[in-house]
Amino acid sequence: MDYYVTQEMSLMEKLGILGDAAKYDVACTSSGVDRKGDGTGIGNAVKAGICHSFSADGRCMSLLKILFTNECIYDCKYCINRRSNDVPRASFTPEEVCRLTIEFYRRNYIEGLFLSSGILYNPTFTMELIYQTVYKLRTEYRFQGYIHIKAIPGADPEVVQKAGFLVDRMSINLELPTAEGLRNLAPNKHRKSILTPMRQIQTGITRNKEELTVYKKAPSFVPAGQSTQMIIGATPENDYQILSVAQDLYDKFDLKRVFYSAFVHVNEDKALPVLPGGPPLLREHRLYQADWLLRYYKFRADELLSLEKPNFNVLLDPKADWALRHLEQFPVEINRADYETILRVPGIGVKSAGRIIRARRNGNLGFEDLKKLGVVLKRALYFITCSGRMMYKTKLEEDYITRNLLDKRQKLPFSSDGITYRQLSLFDDMNFVQDAGEGIKPISALQ
Partner 1 sequence: MEEIIVICEDSEDGIFTAVYEVYARKYPLETVRIQTGEEGNLRLFARYEKIATDREKAEKVRRTLWKRFGEGACEDISYALSTQDEEKGQAVFETIREGLSGKIKGHLMDALGYCGIRKVFELSRSAHHEKHRWEEFLRFQEMDGGILAARINPKCLILPFLMPHFSDRFPLENFLIYDTVRNLAGIHPAKKEWFLVRECPEDILNSMILSEKEAELREMFAYFCEKAAIESRKNRDLQRQMMPLRFRDFMTEFQKNL
20 binds partner 1 (CB under 8 A): yes
Q: Identify what 288 binds: partner 1, ligand SF4, none; CB under 5 to 8 Å per kind.
A: none
Could you say whether residue 64 binds partner 1 (CB under 8 A)? Answer: yes
Q: Which is nearer to ligand SF4, 76 or 433 (CB)?
A: 76
Closest CA to 376 of 416, 319, 322: 319
Query: Cβ of residue 72: shortest distance to ligand SF4, in angstroms?
Result: 3
Residue 356, classified by CB atoms within 10 Å of its CB into exposed (0-12), middle (13-18) or buried (19+), is buried
Picked from partner 1, ligand SF4, none, the partner binding residue 369 (CB below 5 to 8 A depending on kind) is: partner 1
Hey, which residues between 119 and 158 contact partner 1 (CB under 8 A)? 145
For residue 360, state whether it binds partner 1 (rule: CB under 8 A).
yes
Strands 146-150 and 384-385: unpaired
- The interface with partner 1 within residues 261-290 (CB under 8 A) comprises 262, 264-265, 278-279, 281
Q: Which stretch binds partner 1 (CB under 8 A): 88-96, 326-334, 400-408, 412-420?
A: 412-420
Pair type for strands 257-262 and 112-116: unpaired
User: Residue 197 binds which entry of partner 1, ligand SF4, none, with Cβ cut-offs from 5 to 8 Å by kind?
Assistant: none
Nearest-approach distance from CB 125 to partner 1, in angstroms: 26
Round the CA-based radius of gyration of the chain to a whole number and report it.
24
82 binds, among partner 1, ligand SF4, none (CB under 5 to 8 A by kind): ligand SF4
Q: Are 318 and 343 in contact (CB under 8 A)?
A: no
In the complex, the smallest distance separating the C-beta of residue 189 from ligand SF4, rounded to whole angstroms, is: 7
C-alpha dist (Å) from residue 183 to 85, 127, 437: 19, 23, 18
Closest distance of CB 175 from ligand SF4, Å? 7
Binding of partner 1 by 416 (CB under 8 A) = yes
**CB neighbour burial string for 307-343, b if at least 16 within 10 angstroms, e if fewer:** eeebbbbbebbbbbbbbbeeeeebbbebeebeeeebb
Using CB under 8 A as the binding rule, whether residue 363 contacts partner 1 is answered as yes
118 binds, among ligand SF4, partner 1, none (CB under 5 to 8 A by kind): ligand SF4
HSE value, Cβ hemisphere, 13 Å, CA-based, for 432: 18
3-state DSSP of 241-281:
HHHHHHHHHHHHHCCCEEEEEECCCCCCCCCCCCCCCCCCH
CA 134 distance to own-chain centroid: 23
How far apart are alpha carbons 398 and 405 in whole angstroms?
Answer: 10
Q: Do residues 46 and 77 make contact, with C-beta atoms less than 8 angstroms apart? A: no
* CB closer to ligand SF4 out of 76 and 440: 76
Nearest to 271 by CA among 186, 191, 187, 185: 185
Give the separation between CA 364 and CA 366, rounded to whole angstroms.
7
- Indicate which single residue of 253, 355, 384, 386 sits in contact with partner 1 (rule: CB under 8 A): 355
The verdict on 60 binding partner 1 (CB under 8 A) reads: yes
Q: From the CB of 363, what's the least distance to partner 1, in Å?
A: 5
Q: How far is the CB of 22 from partner 1 (least distance, A)?
A: 8
d(CA 227, CA 173): 8
- Please identify, using beta-carbon distances, which residue of 416 and 431 lies nearer to partner 1: 416
Q: What is the contact surface with ligand SF4 in residues (CB under 6 A)?
A: 72, 74-76, 79, 81-82, 118-119
- 23 binding partner (options partner 1, ligand SF4, none; Cβ < 5 to 8 Å by kind): partner 1
- Is residue 362 within the footprint of partner 1 (CB under 8 A)? yes
Q: Which is nearer to ligand SF4, 150 or 422 (CB)?
A: 150
- CB neighbour class for 423 (10 Å; exposed up to 12, middle 13-18, buried from 19): middle
Quick note: the x/- pattern for partner 1 over 74-113, rule CB under 8 A, is: --------------------------x--xx-xxxx----
Helix (H) / strand (E) element for 76: namely: none
Give me the residues paired with residue 64 across strands. 113
The count of residues interacting with partner 1 (CB under 8 A) is 61
Which of ligand SF4, partner 1, none does residue 72 bind to, with CB < 5 to 8 Å depending on kind? Answer: ligand SF4
Task: Answer positive or negative: Cα dihedral of 14, 18, 21, 27.
Answer: negative
Amino acid code (one letter) for 82: R
Please, where are the H alpha helices in 56-173? 94-106, 123-139, 157-164
Site residues, partner 1 (CB under 8 A): 11-12, 15-16, 19-20, 23-24, 36-37, 39-44, 46, 50-61, 64-65, 100, 103-104, 106-109, 145, 262, 264-265, 278-279, 281, 355, 358-363, 365, 369, 372-373, 413-416, 418
